[in-house]
């Protein structure tokens, strides 16, 4: 729907980040005015090391679920998982239209269809500079360059003033207007008057400007030209521009293209349907057909640039890929940045590929990736273009937000108008003035299999204890009337000690347990509960003293 936003009662306007401030990922922000909510992005993050067994992490959306009837629209800035990955979980509870650029919407459509949620979704594609109304908000999509096609910043007009949200962006140096940040539109926002700028902080620590895609293209050209055997390129599935570069480079050198990996196959199919990329007729071959061509006539596109254990590249490196095996003389290119936390997994894959005779090219030894996030000079330029009254750094760990705030002050934003917020903070704007006015409860929801939010701190503590020290199970049957031990105590362990080697430790623990049972009073109404608790406490102390380990103690005690 186009046109001017309808009149609504005056403020205050509230902005509440639910994720993405103080962390990388989980990007989600709520804009509130006159009882209506506009949700920008719904992202996930992948589990940190201590989150054993957890599949993904999404923002705590309790605030939204409690006010689901007030949500006027959900707006997506681009198709990366840290901006759309939590959407299926949101749409299970919320019925609101979802707006995004065509590539973003088509990728969301595929993901929702996989989860049998498409019938619940109202998906509405938007073009650059197109506007839509939702409640008191008029939102305009503005093209930004990022490491995925169809990235968008937002101009959000409210009764309190114009807000600009950059999304993830960089200032592109490429002549392709379809991939360049629309700096003229951001400048027009600045002329109109921007109440607050919400700007991507991810690369605020890096001086200067991002590399250009042209430079990356030159590096890829040289690598493919000099390769004696197959070229295997691992790339983010959503990085359509990079995939197109690789296709064009392969075509110039007379090589066929094979694609391995479900996510990259889907991304390429959608991009080709929308006209964002093209593969020359007869150039693409099936992965099964790779063996039919000489090694120096093939380029293989694959997933797994972050060391994901089930990705195509990880399976190739481990020798478990059904169709692809490493050949001596292969050139493997990891055309992506190492995301913090993935370094060990990536290093293991690189080592394995080298052992099998491949040459591996990655970011630490060659310029084969350009970041999708603006460096310092580009961040300054965005502030100069929009000339905001207030500046709010978003998308980054807390140090990124602090440093981005300092950068804003360097280019003229007064200290008192730099609002460094965290998840749950309520930013309030009224009569042209802004402040942090309070907090709501926020957090993270852990998704483990089909369980959503049922894994909490206590479960994670137990999993860590199991991983680090194992488990000891105590089995015992007591006589209900006399308290006499009828069976046991029998101790078995997993991941604690090798019973044939240090079995005496478990044998001695039996004496500890019997002492507790003997001292337990028969007339206590909570006798069994007390015995279990005392056994756990005593065994923790005993094992800590004799072997300095802290296994999980599981007493299984029955009365008959």
CATH classification at residue 289 = 3.40.50.10710
For the stretch 442-474, pLDDT in tens is 988 887 666 575 566 666 666 676 766 788 889
* Residues 195, 51 share a domain: yes
Residue 77, φ and ψ in degrees, nearest 5:
-85, -35
Distance CA 421, CA 140 (A): 24
3-state helix, strand, coil in the chain (%, to 5): 35, 25, 40
Question: Residue 7: pLDDT above 60?
Answer: no
Q: In the chain, what is the straight-line distance between the N-terminal and C-terminal CA atoms, in Å?
A: 71
Q: Are 182 and 141 in contact (CB under 8 A)?
A: no
Question: Residue 1: pLDDT above 60?
Answer: no
- 366 belongs to a structural domain: no
Q: Are 111 and 88 in contact (CB under 8 A)?
A: yes
Over residues 39-53, the mean pLDDT reads: 80
* Residues 221, 175 share a domain: no
Residues ≥6 apart with Cβ < 8 Å to 306: 336, 338, 339, 342, 345, 346
Pick the last residue of a domain from 451, 478, 498.
451
* 123: exposed, middle or buried (Cβ count in 10 Å: 0-12, 13-18, 19+): middle
pLDDT for res 451: 58
Q: Which of 418, 411, 420, 407 is nearest to 206 (CA)?
A: 407
For residue 545, give the CATH number of its domain.
3.10.20.580
Structural domain boundaries, residue 54 = 13-208+371-451
Write down the H helix ranges in 372-429.
Answer: 376-386, 398-410
3-state secondary structure of 139: strand
In the sheet where 485-494 sits, what is the strand order? 485-494, 471-478, 552-559
pLDDT for res 5: 43
Question: Residue 4: pLDDT above 50?
Answer: no
3-state secondary structure of 515: helix
Distance CA 229, CA 359 (A): 10
* Residues 383, 322 share a domain: no
* Residues 524, 417 share a domain: no
- 404 belongs to a structural domain: yes
Sign for the pseudo-dihedral over CA of 304, 310, 312, 316: positive
- Cα 543–Cα 546–Cα 549 angle in degrees, nearest 5: 45
* Residues 258, 309 share a domain: yes
Q: pLDDT class for 370, splitting at 50, 70, 90?
A: confident
Distance CA 471, CA 473 (A): 7
* 66: exposed, middle or buried (Cβ count in 10 Å: 0-12, 13-18, 19+): exposed
Residue 17: both structure tokens together = 């980040």
* Residues 257, 137 share a domain: no
3-state secondary structure of 491: strand
For 100, the enclosing helix (H) or strand (E) is strand 98-100
Over residues 205-232, the mean pLDDT reads: 91
Give the total number of structural domains in the chain: 3
* Residues 125, 203 share a domain: yes
Question: Residue 434: pLDDT above 60?
Answer: yes
* Residues 518, 439 share a domain: no
Q: Are 392 and 368 in contact (CB under 8 A)?
A: no
Over residues 184-210, the mean pLDDT reads: 97
Question: Residue 535: pLDDT above 70?
Answer: yes
For the stretch 391-416, pLDDT in tens is 999 999 999 999 999 999 999 999 99
Residues ≥6 apart with Cβ < 8 Å to 541: none
Distance CA 313, CA 321 (A): 8
pLDDT for res 302: 92
Mean pLDDT score of the chain, rounded to an integer?
Answer: 89
Top pLDDT among 322 and 100 is at 100
* Residues 161, 68 share a domain: yes
For 233, the enclosing helix (H) or strand (E) is strand 231-235
Residues ≥6 apart with Cβ < 8 Å to 269: none
Distance CA 169, CA 143 (A): 9
DSSP 257: E
Residue 466: both structure tokens together = 């199991």
Top pLDDT among 305 and 420 is at 420
pLDDT for res 458: 66
Sign for the pseudo-dihedral over CA of 89, 93, 96, 97: positive
Question: Residue 327: pLDDT above 90?
Answer: yes
* Residues 296, 259 share a domain: yes
Distance CA 204, CA 201 (A): 5
Q: Are 300 and 233 in contact (CB under 8 A)?
A: yes
* Residues 190, 252 share a domain: no
Distance CA 306, CA 304 (A): 5
Pick the last residue of a domain from 361, 380, 405.
361
pLDDT for res 518: 81
- 42 belongs to a structural domain: yes
Distance CA 383, CA 408 (A): 7
For residue 121, give the CATH number of its domain.
3.60.15.10
- 331 belongs to a structural domain: yes
- Which percentage of the chain shows pLDDT scores above 70? 89
Place of tokens 């990880």: 314
Over residues 359-384, the mean pLDDT reads: 89
- 221 belongs to a structural domain: yes
For the stretch 296-314, pLDDT in tens is 999 999 988 776 777 888 8
Question: Residue 517: pLDDT above 60?
Answer: yes
* Residues 341, 271 share a domain: yes
- 3 belongs to a structural domain: no
Pick the last residue of a domain from 326, 361, 396.
361
Residues 367-376 as b or e (16 or more Cβ within 10 Å = b) = ebbbbbbbbb
Q: pLDDT class for 335, splitting at 50, 70, 90?
A: confident
Long-range CB contacts for residues 454-458, cutoff 8 Å, separation at least 24: 455/53, 455/54
Q: Are 393 and 420 in contact (CB under 8 A)?
A: yes
Q: Which of 42, 13, 11 is nearest to 29 (CA)?
A: 42
- 535 belongs to a structural domain: yes
β-strand pairing of 390-394 with 425-430: unpaired
Over residues 124-132, the mean pLDDT reads: 97
- 8 belongs to a structural domain: no
């Amino acid at each position: 729907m186009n046109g001017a936003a309808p009149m609504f009662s005056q403020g205050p306007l509230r902005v509440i980040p639910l994720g993405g401030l103080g962390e990388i990922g989980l990007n989600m922000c709520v804009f509130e005015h006159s009882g209506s909510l506009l949700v920008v992005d719904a992202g996930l993050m992948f589990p940190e090391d201590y989150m054993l067994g957890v599949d993904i992490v999404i923002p705590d959306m309790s605030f939204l679920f409690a006010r689901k009837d007030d949500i006027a629209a959900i707006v997506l800035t681009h198709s990366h998982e840290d901006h759309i990955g939590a959407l299926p979980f949101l749409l299970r509870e919320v019925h609101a239209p979802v707006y995004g650029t065509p590539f973003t919407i088509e990728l969301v459509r595929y993901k929702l269809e996989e989860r049998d949620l498409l019938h619940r979704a109202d998906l509405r594609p938007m073009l650059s500079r197109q506007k839509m109304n939702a409640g008191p908000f008029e939102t305009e999509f503005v093209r930004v360059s990022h490491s995925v096609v169809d990235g968008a910043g937002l101009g959000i007009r409210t009764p309190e003033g114009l807000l600009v949200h950059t999304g993830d962006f960089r200032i592109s140096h490429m002549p392709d207007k379809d991939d360049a940040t629309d700096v003229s539109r951001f400048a027009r926002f600045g002329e109109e008057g921007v109440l607050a700028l919400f700007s991507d902080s991810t690369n605020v620590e890096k001086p200067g400007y991002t590399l250009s895609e042209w430079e990356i293209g030159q590096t890829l050209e040289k690598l493919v030209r000099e390769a004696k055997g197959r070229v295997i390129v691992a790339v983010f599935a959503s990085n359509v521009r990079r995939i197109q570069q690789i296709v064009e480079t392969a075509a110039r050198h007379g090589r066929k293209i094979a694609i391995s990996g479900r996510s990259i196959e889907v991304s390429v199919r959608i991009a080709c349907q929308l006209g964002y990329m093209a593969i020359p007729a007869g150039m693409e071959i099936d992965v099964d057909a790779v063996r039919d061509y000489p090694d120096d006539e093939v380029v293989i596109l694959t997933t797994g640039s972050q060391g994901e254990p089930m990705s195509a590249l990880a399976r190739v490196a481990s020798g478990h890929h059904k169709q692809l095996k490493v050949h001596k003389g292969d050139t493997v290119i990891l055309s992506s940045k190492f995301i913090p936390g993935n370094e060990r997994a990536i290093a293991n894959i690189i080592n394995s590929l080298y052992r099998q005779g491949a040459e591996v090219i990655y970011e630490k030894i060659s310029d084969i990736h350009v970041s999708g996030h603006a460096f310092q000079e580009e961040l300054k330029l965005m502030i100069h273009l929009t000339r905001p009254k207030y500046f709010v750094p978003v998308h980054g760990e807390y140090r990124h937000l602090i440093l981005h705030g300092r950068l804003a002050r360097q280019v003229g934003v007064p200290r008192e108008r730099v609002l460094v917020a965290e998840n749950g903070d309520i930013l309030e704007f009224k009569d042209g003035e802004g402040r942090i006015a309070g907090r709501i409860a926020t957090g993270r929801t852990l998704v483990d299999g089909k369980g959503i939010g049922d894994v909490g701190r206590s479960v994670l503590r137990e999993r860590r204890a199991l991983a680090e020290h194992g488990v000891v199970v105590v089995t015992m049957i007591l006589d209900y009337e006399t308290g006499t031990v009828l069976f046991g105590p029998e101790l078995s362990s997993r991941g604690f000690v090798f019973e044939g080697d240090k079995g005496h430790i478990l044998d001695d623990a039996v004496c500890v347990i019997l002492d507790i049972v003997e001292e337990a009073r028969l007339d206590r109404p909570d006798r069994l509960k007390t015995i279990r608790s005392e056994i756990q406490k005593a065994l923790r102390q005993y094992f800590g003293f004799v072997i300095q380990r802290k296994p999980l103690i599981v007493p299984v005690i029955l009365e008959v």
